[in-house]
Amino acid sequence: MCGIAGAISFREDMRGDMKVYEKMQRAMQRRGPDQKGIMLMENAALIHTRLAVIDISGGRQPMSFSVNGKSVTIVYNGELYNTEDLRRELESEIGFETRSDTEVVLKSYIVWGEKCLERLNGIFAFVIYDERKRQAFIARDRIGVKPLFYSDTGDKFIFASEIPTLLEHTDIPHEIDRQGAAELILMAPGRTPGCGVIRGIKEIRPGWCGTYSQDGLKLREYWRLHARELDETFEQTVEHTRELVLDSIRRQLVSDVPICTFLSGGLDSSLISSVAASEMKKNGRVLKTFSVDYRDNDKYFQSSHFQPDSDNEYIRAMTEYLGTEHHRFVVDTPELVDALDEAAEARGLPGMADVDASLLLFCREIKKYGTVALSGECADELFGGYPWYRDEDIRMTDGFPWAQSTAYRKRFLRDEYAAEISAEDYVYSAYLRTAQDAEKLTSDDALEGRMKEMTQLNFSWFMQTLLDRKDRMSMYSGLEVRVPFCDYRIAEYMYNVKWEYKDYMGREKGLLREAMKEWLPEKVLRRKKSPYPKTHNPAFLEAVTVRLRERMNDSGSLLTELVKREELEKLLRHEESVQWYGQLMNLPQTIAYFIQLDHWLRRYNITLK
């Protein structure tokens, strides 16, 4: 995993802005602390920072290969899980000098051109500058695990893995307009697909690629979720699911540096840990597993519909079952509050408040023991694990099921923004575009059609928010986190599996439980879904209340130029508790979000237009 950035222009010489490129490189140094490189050409500047995982000595970037005396050069961020398969296929046509997946991606492009994307199984974002064609080829993985932001200024294409890196370039304005205000108040921590919030910044969407040449930027979709007929019995579906899940996990265990796993005691992380422990045991190694908890959570925990029980007893059951070397990291309230600002810098935007901050601290701790970790993100979206998949009233209600707070949110917008933004229309039209974009079969009944819409909504929105969080918080600590459930083959297949099968035995992720039942103890296999743990300590609410009031009273704050002070005052009086973003963000997290927003506006000198 790495950080990539650069600039391409056919109207000016790209070799004259070395100081700017070095600033961009420093801004993403945390993503790649092991190696760095900059390559300057007449029309392209390519910048890289590397977290070395595979072929540590041979995978340096930018990486070039000469074809008929012209260079083809790549900067690449990601991990390819079918590297050896592709290398064997390519060796008859082109030679290899390293074991790195970077070289495989580069030479896949040289041999197959843009169609190379059809063959890549992995998580990636890359830019290849082809001197022969005088164009850049730009691509992002199908699921959107690895980020790629850009700005097309009209005469220059500037790109980077993260927004803060783009902001180091002198051609990028530090401004938000009406759309940016709507994203920050009405959508966040989600983002409209392709939107970078700051004026002029956009994101290459998952499953999209394109070219930048003298004819400008041309983007296209190369992959999406397609509706297809599946003619399989339940037993065949169980077997097919098991094969896909096991193959994905095993492929993602390849590394030249130590690998560990997140372990919450939930179904998803426990499955990954079980397979990983089994594979490592074959080589006489013991898997390291990691969990996060909060000071005094055992004292203040209260069972709820969304979080029925705490993780600790299930973690113990799994570590005993697998014999792992387990590490439990406990976060205290003061450090959690202090990490809110740093988490906003890591994401490049205000985000999921303490849910981000705790993961940032957690990843920093894991980095002390390893460089690569596997995590269970995205099983809920693909296998139907969330309450809104299974609650008939919620799933049939128009609108994003995790964000039913538009009326509440719009109260925070200052009048000059609210007058130009129809909050309900902005949010609902985004929902409707995505729902209508879901492919369906003519044979789908109302339920199957709606479940495809729900999958597309979760895939395009909620899942992307969690993947943003996972990538930014982990890479900020130089930790690579892989997500086996994000294998595109699993996504393609599960999109077309009948809801009746997914909901086997009336359980969330019932199909996954049945397919993988031999890998878990009964106690964990039957555990009801529980989300990523968050603090229940009332001290957190008290602390963020004090912190936000301090920020609002600071003369340097820009927050009240965007947000109504009187609504913030109501928030600080705890007059009502409305879910800001599903079960993950309630009153304490809403206050913490505005702390992050305040810091982000100041840290990046954002002006409001």
Residues that are catalytic: 2
Paired tokens of 213: 């040449």
Query: Residue 418 forms beta bridges with which residues?
Result: none
Q: Are 326 and 289 in contact (CB under 8 A)?
A: yes
Any residues with CB less than 8 A from the CB of 299 and at least 6 apart, and which?
537
Cα separation, 391 vs 413, in Å, equals 32
> Which has the closest alpha carbon to 341: 328, 329, 323, 354?
354
Phi/psi-derived region of residue 499, left when phi > 0, alpha when psi is between -120 and 50, beta in every other case: alpha
Phi then psi dihedrals of residue 337, to 5 deg: -65, -45
Paired tokens of 510: 């019932």
Cα separation, 443 vs 434, in Å, equals 21
Cα separation, 252 vs 255, in Å, equals 8
| Count of C-beta atoms within a 10 Å radius of residue 295 | 18
Paired tokens of 477: 């600590």
Query: Residue 127 forms beta bridges with which residues?
Result: 75, 138
Dihedral in degrees, nearest 10, Cα atoms 20, 21, 23, 29: 170
Q: Are 258 and 370 in contact (CB under 8 A)?
A: yes
Chain-centre distance for alpha carbon 256? 24
- Residue for token pair 């490049």: 348
Residue 586's SS3 state is coil
Q: Are 310 and 328 in contact (CB under 8 A)?
A: no
Cα separation, 410 vs 407, in Å, equals 6
Q: Are 440 and 449 in contact (CB under 8 A)?
A: yes
Q: For the residues of 114-125, what is the DSSP string, one character each?
A: GGGGGT--EEEE
Strands 259-262 and 202-203 turn out to be unpaired
Residue ranges in 295-353 assigned as alpha helix (H): 297-300, 312-322, 333-347
Cα separation, 511 vs 282, in Å, equals 28
Phi then psi dihedrals of residue 212, to 5 deg: -125, 120
Reported as half-sphere exposure (CB side, CA atoms, 13 A), residue 537 has a value of 20
Q: Are 547 and 353 in contact (CB under 8 A)?
A: no
Q: Are 412 and 524 in contact (CB under 8 A)?
A: no
Residue 75's SS3 state is strand
> Which has the closest alpha carbon to 140: 82, 203, 200?
203
> Which has the closest alpha carbon to 78: 169, 148, 167, 155?
148
Q: Are 263 and 319 in contact (CB under 8 A)?
A: yes
Helix (H) or strand (E) holding 272: helix 267-281
